[in-house]
Chain A
């Protein structure tokens, strides 16, 4: 029997160190490991390089001043196009940005997974991605075409944080929604990877109602498993739940106003995950 890797979100964060490069799974405001991000916000870990297809994970960490360098192609809340904290942090120069194209990010993670120094891509040529990242280099094809392509550097990670629908205690992770995003790449590109999930189930349960292609994460690439019901809230985690649009609107409005944001922080982000869940339930009680 392989080992039991279950742990708490606090234990995950306890293994992270300031200055690390951390990859965060999901996409925009979809299946983000928000319970892990909230635990990170309660810790002293800072000075991070964050690699993410950005959503509120990036917003919250940027607002809290935890990001030294952000590697991304965008930050958005999907139904709210602009992530307000990301916008504000950029406009006050709060972190260094490595702005890459969406496909460049994918190939950078892929290079890291394959233990290659770079991947050649056409994306980025002629755009200002090359200008704002002066360290990016091109590479010339050694074959007859002699094409000059962008050498996207490998995006190696110290740690990855992802959220899935189900996992077993050994780190086999399962997604039940329509899109795996890049969560397996984040985990395989990382020295250590942590998965939170809606429910930890016995290995024998994983394929009771789903096909084998839903098994996205292999335990060899996962170091910790956290059971975190509603752990992607307020982002979506279909089919378990959709994005909490009412709460996200509240978040976005609060994030645009310092006084409202102080109230939001006091109400939702000053306690532990249980306190967060209770405060969200109370919020919906008032909304109803």
Chain B
């Protein structure tokens, strides 16, 4: 469902956009680093609405001073952030990244490197990239566009982004700035607000059941007695998403209706 009809009911992709945007509520004057289309739309929506102080990049070395549509060039550049500065900025903590995950486990360990035995992987993926430095230094959330038991596994094959159990086992230098605010998927929103810091269902996107989430999760997920639904986008948020930030409907390619 694309186009500029602002009266149609919110799609699943739009619930995901709003859930991602919420990750940056109250983040303050920090860099939002969204990876993936829906998080990128979410970060821009947050900046246009309740988080105007966020810094955003053009995906490369420029900090953009306006909020263009996805894929469009910025009209205003407000700063310079080449990779060397970006990697240094991570360690200041003034950044909240939302990364993808090929595998994610109960304690928030993330894998984007390879599947199978690391020595000779069954499926080589990207490599660790910046997941280790991100997860130990600045708030790190995750986005999974297709929630399945292949992604949500008991144990990841290679720990790239560090989860709660691993950070705790490594000691105070690992836990000092370690923060995993949450996970957004096409089925719902998750956090780690449990006594053992295991993953918990925080909200369901409308139309999704607890049973569906459990079936698509390869570990025992904490589920509270009452699970709320992910909040609705406001009319103004829907207008911004559909008309200004993602008029080409790229969100629907990442999350099917």
Given A93-B119, A102-B133, A126-B136, verify A81-B126 contact (CB < 8 Å): yes
Among the listed stretches B142-150, B165-173, B221-229, which one makes contact with chain A, having 4 or more residues with CB under 8 Å of it? Answer: B165-173
Among the listed stretches B15-23, B154-162, B232-240, B247-255, which one makes contact with chain A, having 4 or more residues with CB under 8 Å of it? Answer: B154-162
Q: Which residues of A contact B (CB under 8 A)?
A: 27, 54, 72-76, 81-82, 86-87, 90-93, 99-104, 106, 121-129, 131-132, 147-149, 178-182
User: Once bound together, how far apart are the Cα atoms of A82 and B160, in whole Å?
Assistant: 17
B170 near A125: Cβ-Cβ < 8 Å? yes
Chain A residues positioned under 8 Å from B135 (CB to CB): 127
Chain A residues positioned under 8 Å from B71 (CB to CB): none
A147 near B125: Cβ-Cβ < 8 Å? no
A127 near B173: Cβ-Cβ < 8 Å? no
Residues of B in contact, count (CB < 8 Å)? 46
Given A129-B132, A180-B82, verify A122-B126 contact (CB < 8 Å): no
CB-contacts of B103-162 with A (<8 A): 113-114, 118-133, 135-137, 158-162
Extra pairs beyond A126-B169, A127-B159, A182-B84 (6, CB < 8 Å): A99-B127, A121-B133, A127-B166, A129-B128, A180-B84, A182-B83
A73 near B122: Cβ-Cβ < 8 Å? no
User: Once bound together, how far apart are the Cα atoms of A178 and B83, in whole Å?
Assistant: 10
A106 near B84: Cβ-Cβ < 8 Å? yes
A102 near B129: Cβ-Cβ < 8 Å? yes
Nearest residue, chain B, Cβ from A93: B120
A101 near B126: Cβ-Cβ < 8 Å? no
The answer to whether B60 has its CB under 8 Å from any CB of chain A is yes
Given A122-B91, A126-B169, A147-B173, verify A99-B61 contact (CB < 8 Å): no
Q: In the assembled complex, how far is the CB of residue A49 from the closest CB belonging to chain B, in whole angstroms?
A: 17
Task: Give a binary string over B55-83; 1 marks a CB under 8 Å from any A CB, 0 the rest.
Answer: 00000111000000000000000001011
The answer to whether B174 has its CB under 8 Å from any CB of chain A is yes
Identify B123's interface contact among A74, A81, A91, A129, CB under 8 A. Answer: A91
User: Once bound together, how far apart are the Cα atoms of A132 and B80, in whole Å?
Assistant: 35
Residue among B62, B127, B137 with most chain A CB within 10 A: B127
Chain B residues positioned under 8 Å from A106 (CB to CB): 84, 87
Chain B residues positioned under 8 Å from A128 (CB to CB): 113, 118, 128, 158-160
Given A93-B120, A103-B90, A181-B82, verify A124-B132 contact (CB < 8 Å): yes
Residue among B90, B133, B174 with most chain A CB within 10 A: B133
The answer to whether B177 has its CB under 8 Å from any CB of chain A is yes
- 13 A-B pairs, CB-CB below 8 angstroms? A73-B127, A74-B127, A82-B124, A91-B120, A93-B120, A102-B133, A106-B87, A125-B173, A126-B159, A126-B169, A126-B174, A148-B171, A178-B82
